[in-house]
Amino acid sequence: MEMLLLQGAKKGNWLPGKGAVLTTSQKRVLFSPMSSFPSLPTECTDLQIPGAGSAALALKICSFNVRSFGESKKANCNAMDVIVKVIKRCDIILLMEIKDSSNRICPTLMEKLNGEKLVSVKQSYLYHDYQAGDADVFSREPFVVWFQSPYTAVKDFVIVPLHTTPETSVREIDELANVYTDVKRRWNAENFIFMGDFNAGCSYVPKKAWKDIRLRTDPKFVWLIGDQEDTTVKKSTNCAYDRIVLRGQNIVNSVVPQSNLVFDFQKAYRLSESKALDVSDHFPVEFKLQSSRAFTNSKKSVSSKKKKKTSHA
């Protein structure tokens, strides 16, 4: 596990000056506190994270709405066990609906996670949704992060997280096209990942509404999680709320084939529906970026040398 992107549960919770990249010895954590935080959660900066074993050759990027992740869920050992298992599967993960006014969730998670430094943060900023004569579109303005990733085929990428309000999903998803333009102007970045709980399905985004969403009508935006997917835990629902969208030919070409999927933790960990709902009412979505050939070869070389030493011993 390399990096957590944490987003609070309240409307308007990405606060100017509050979202921050907090650095530990082995990993970086993008933490966006809720509006009730008086200051940055410095506890996260002091954790010492020991390096893990050899890293996976592909970089797995995930998005997970944990649903009201606060003290009651933290006290549920079974739910916490599943959440940690899900997080450990990923190299970078966006966690949404963090309810943590006392700043206990971040340290608890960090204590349970080990990581290897595979990526670093180049830049980050809070997107301000200022439009003349128009109210803010976003209920939670995106905290945008530009990553440097030397060990993947694509060497850098921007992650734009989004958790919409269901009733305004169409406008918020469409507004991501403006975020893309703004980030492109600021950083001249080429590779983009838009991900999160878009509420992009069922009654919130009906079929007739897609024509009004530039992120869908512009073919240069590539949707990795399709409309036919079900990202909800309840058997009574079948909605593709959680999405991952890419922009940039290099990053699109770098996706590991068939790695873009919904992770059904209920099936994977053999949970009843009620136990799964204790974890969340959403399944995570994910994909992998291919490793660079040089990184793959260096890993193989190290592995080969170890085998030779073992055979001579």
Task: Write down the H helix ranges in the chain.
Answer: 71-74, 77-88, 105-112, 169-187, 214-217, 249-253, 265-268, 273-279, 293-312
Q: What residue numbers bound the domain in which 188 lies?
A: 3-312
Query: With contact defined as beta carbons under 8 Å apart, do 105 and 74 qualify?
Result: yes
Given a contact cutoff of 8 angstroms between Cβ atoms, the answer to whether 241 and 201 are in contact is yes
| 245 close to 195: Cβ distance less than 8 angstroms | yes
Give the CA diameter of the chain.
75
The token duo for 81 is 């066990």
Residue 205 confidence (pLDDT): 95
Q: What is the pLDDT of residues 98-127, one digit of tens each?
A: 776 666 666 667 666 655 556 667 766 666
Q: Interior CA angle at 298 toward 297 and 302, to 5°?
A: 115
β-pairing, 143-148 with 156-161?
A: antiparallel
Query: Which residue numbers in the chain have pLDDT < 50?
Result: 1, 9-56, 294
Residues whose CB is less than 8 angstroms from the CB of residue 97 and which lie 6 or more positions away in sequence, other chains included: 7, 8, 9, 65, 66, 67, 68, 69, 163
Q: State residue 177's pLDDT score.
A: 95
pLDDT at 116: 56
CATH number at residue 305: 3.60.10.10
pLDDT confidence of residue 132 = 56
The total number of structural domains that make up the chain = 1
CA distance 263 to 90: 11
**CB-based contacts of 19-27 (< 8 A; 24+ apart in sequence):** 19/124, 19/126, 19/143, 21/121, 21/124, 21/145, 24/48, 24/49, 24/110, 25/49, 26/50, 26/51, 26/115, 26/116, 26/117, 27/1, 27/2, 27/3, 27/115, 27/117
Q: What distance in Å separates the CA atoms of residue 131 and residue 203, rounded to the nearest whole number?
A: 27
pLDDT of residue 293: 72
Sequence letter at residue 282: H
The pLDDT score that the predictor gives to residue 196 is 94
E strand map for 33-149: 59-69, 92-98, 120-126, 143-148
pTM: 0.77
pLDDT computed for residue 222 by the predictor: 98
